[in-house]
């Protein structure tokens, strides 16, 4: 219809009457009325009032009403924009442009404002160059004096270092350092460090004398001791059970594994706390796996059982050797 230049025959008022609507209704009301009438008159509907001609009139009326509502909305929007522009338009706004510089027409004021900006930029550049030259002159004199003093210090220190190094090498060649009292012993624990101030050095010495250790070191030590005790305890618990295990012993072993898993979970929480306070990223720890630890305990148990069985067989062979050793020695003597 749009391409063929079709124009509906209904006017606006008739279209509203066909849709059972009044002028000034909303878009939702128009759509709801059209849907209800389309369900009623559409030829494919199962209603008894289905009529193709009535459905065409309803559709034409619906299109006319939609176009009328769209035109009204455009006119309302245009009026609102005009009202907003009128309310927001500034009185004497030409005095607010060009930073209040210049007089006359807008074009004359624009030229005057451009010249004003050029003059202002020129003054700023001149001031910056003057400040830079003054700072260079003041800094050059100071830097020259500092360079002279520093070069003298470097020459003196280098000469002294060469002299001291020569004396040390000469004494080492003579063997003067062979009989020193501290030879082969570690350096003092509280030797002065040139990288920290004396106050921090004294505080560190007091803390170490009183057995202070950082929190992350204590946590690391605690975690290692705890996992060691858990590993020993689960191996000892497995050794108490028989081989092969009975049904009751299997249930007991299951309870032991559940308790071991709970202990590992608590230990992993300590690992999380340790990773939060450790200052070195490479020192962070990973979580302990319950399955891997149980498998490790089984391997340790099997190794212990094999070791015990090997020692028992060696002991029995030694007893048999002691028991029958005098008979073999007697037979050898008779042969001789």
Residue 20 sits in a domain of what CATH number? Answer: 1.10.287.110
Of 139, 158, 185, at which residue does a domain stop? 139
| Residue 162 in domain | no
- Asked if 253 and 301 sit in the same domain, the reply is yes
Range of the domain at 63: 12-72
Sign of the Cα torsion 121, 122, 123, 128 reads positive
Encode pLDDT of 158-174 as tens digits.
Answer: 777 777 788 878 877 88
| Residue 185 in domain | no
| Residue 333 in domain | no
Of 139, 159, 193, at which residue does a domain stop? 139
Q: In whole angstroms, what is the distance from residue 224 CA to residue 285 CA?
A: 11
- Asked if 35 and 108 sit in the same domain, the reply is no
| Residue 319 in domain | no
- Asked if 45 and 128 sit in the same domain, the reply is no
Can you give the three-state secondary structure of 192-220, one letter per residue? CCCCCCHHHHHHHHHHHHCCCCCHHHHHH
- Work out how many domains the chain is built from and give that number: 3
CA nearest neighbour of 237 among 255, 254, 256: 256
- Termini Cα distance of the chain: 136
Of 72, 95, 121, at which residue does a domain stop? 72
Q: In whole angstroms, what is the distance from residue 224 CA to residue 260 CA?
A: 16
| Residue 171 in domain | no
| Residue 45 in domain | yes
- Asked if 66 and 113 sit in the same domain, the reply is no
- Asked if 42 and 127 sit in the same domain, the reply is no
Encode pLDDT of 186-239 as tens digits.
Answer: 656 555 666 777 777 777 777 777 777 888 888 999 999 999 999 999 988 888
| Residue 83 in domain | no
| Residue 1 in domain | no
Q: In whole angstroms, what is the distance from residue 311 CA to residue 17 CA?
A: 111
Note the pLDDT of residue 313. 60
pLDDT bin (cut points 50, 70, 90) of residue 286 is very high
pTM of the prediction?
A: 0.36
- Asked if 62 and 117 sit in the same domain, the reply is no
Encode pLDDT of 236-260 as tens digits.
Answer: 888 888 777 888 888 898 999 999 9
């Amino acid at each position: 219809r749009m391409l063929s230049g079709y124009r509906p025959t209904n006017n606006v008022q008739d279209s509203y009457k066909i849709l059972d609507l009044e002028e000034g209704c909303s878009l939702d009301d128009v759509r709801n009325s059209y849907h209800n009438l389309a369900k009623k008159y559409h030829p494919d509907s199962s209603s008894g009032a289905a009529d193709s001609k009535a459905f065409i009139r309803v559709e034409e009326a619906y299109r006319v009403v939609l176009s009328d509502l769209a035109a009204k909305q455009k006119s309302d929007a245009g009026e609102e924009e005009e009202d907003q522009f009128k309310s927001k338009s500034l009185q004497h706004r030409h005095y607010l442009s060009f930073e209040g510089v210049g007089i006359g027409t807008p074009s004359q004021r624009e030229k005057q404002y451009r010249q004003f900006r050029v003059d202002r930029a020129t003054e700023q550049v001149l001031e910056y160059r003057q400040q830079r030259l003054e700072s260079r002159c003041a800094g050059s004199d100071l830097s020259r004096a500092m360079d002279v003093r520093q070069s003298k210090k470097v020459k003196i220190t280098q000469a002294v270092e060469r002299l001291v190094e020569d004396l040390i090498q000469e004494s080492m060649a003579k063997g003067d350092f062979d009989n020193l009292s501290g030879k082969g012993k570690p350096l003092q624990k509280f030797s002065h460090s040139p990288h920290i101030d004396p106050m921090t050095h004294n505080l560190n010495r007091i803390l170490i004398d009183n057995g202070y250790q950082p929190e992350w070191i204590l946590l690391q030590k605690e975690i290692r001791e705890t996992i060691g005790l858990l590993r020993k305890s689960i191996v000892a618990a497995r050794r108490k059970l028989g081989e092969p295990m009975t049904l009751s012993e299997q249930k007991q072993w299951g309870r032991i594994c559940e308790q071991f898993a709970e202990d590992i979970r608590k230990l992993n929480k300590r690992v999380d706390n340790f990773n939060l306070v450790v200052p070195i990223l490479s020192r962070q720890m990973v979580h302990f796996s319950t399955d891997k630890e149980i498998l490790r305990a089984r391997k340790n148990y099997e190794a212990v059982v094999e070791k015990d069985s090997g020692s028992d067989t060696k002991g029995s062979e030694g007893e048999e050797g002691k028991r029958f050793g005098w008979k073999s020695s007697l037979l050898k003597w008779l042969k001789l």
